[in-house]
C-alpha cells in the first residue's frame, strides 16, 4: 500500500521578506534660483517608520537631468516610510505585502 509524504517545509523561519528590487530615479527638477538653502538635489531614503532607523540611503541626485538606479536590498514585509533627505515634506509610504 502506497502513501504520500508531504514535502518538508523548507521556508525559513522568521519574518517574510520582499525580493530585492530596483528604483529608477530621474530628477527633472529645474530650480531657477539656488539660494537660501534651496536645492534641486533629491534622493530616496527608506526608514522603518517616520522616526525609525534608516534602512536604505539613496545617493543625492542633481536636477534637472540626473538619474540613478537604486538597488534596494530585501526587507521584511511591512510598511515603510520613505522621503527625500533634503526635503522631508517629499514623503510617502512603501508597502511590501505577502503575495
Ligand atoms: Cu528633495
Give distance in angstroms: CA of 25 to centre of ligand 1.
12
In 3D, which of 36, 42, 35, 34 has the Cα closest to residue 70? 42
Chain segment 30-41, per-residue pLDDT in tens: 986 666 668 899
Per-residue confidence (pLDDT) for residue 98, from 0 to 100: 74
Q: Which triple of cell numbers denotes residue 96?
A: 511590501
Give distance in angstroms: CA of 28 to centre of ligand 1.
11
Per-residue confidence (pLDDT) for residue 18, from 0 to 100: 86
Distance CA 34, CA 12 (A): 51
Chain segment 72-90, per-residue pLDDT in tens: 999 999 999 999 999 999 9
Tell me which residue range forms the domain holding 68.
Answer: 21-96
User: Does 91 fall in a domain?
Assistant: yes
Cis omega (within 30 of 0) for bond into 91 = no
| pLDDT greater than 50 at residue 96 | yes
Domain count, the chain: 1
pTM above 0.85, yes or no: no
User: Does 61 fall in a domain?
Assistant: yes
Per-residue confidence (pLDDT) for residue 6, from 0 to 100: 47
User: Does 64 fall in a domain?
Assistant: yes
Give distance in angstroms: CA of 88 to centre of ligand 1.
7
Contact assessment for residue 79 and residue 93, using Cβ atoms and an 8 Å cutoff: yes
Give distance in angstroms: CA of 47 to centre of ligand 1.
16
Contact assessment for residue 88 and residue 79, using Cβ atoms and an 8 Å cutoff: no
Amino acid at each position: 500500500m502506497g502513501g504520500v509524504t508531504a514535502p518538508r517545509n523548507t521556508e525559513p523561519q522568521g519574518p517574510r521578506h520582499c525580493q530585492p528590487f530596483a528604483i529608477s530615479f530621474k530628477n527633472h527638477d529645474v530650480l531657477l534660483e539656488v539660494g537660501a538653502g534651496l536645492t534641486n538635489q533629491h534622493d530616496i531614503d527608506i526608514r522603518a517608520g517616520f522616526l525609525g532607523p534608516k534602512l536604505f540611503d539613496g545617493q543625492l541626485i542633481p536636477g534637472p537631468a540626473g538619474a540613478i538606479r537604486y538597488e534596494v536590498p530585501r526587507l521584511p514585509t511591512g510598511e515603510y516610510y520613505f522621503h527625500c533627505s533634503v526635503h522631508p515634506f517629499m514623503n510617502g509610504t512603501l508597502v511590501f505585502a505577502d503575495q
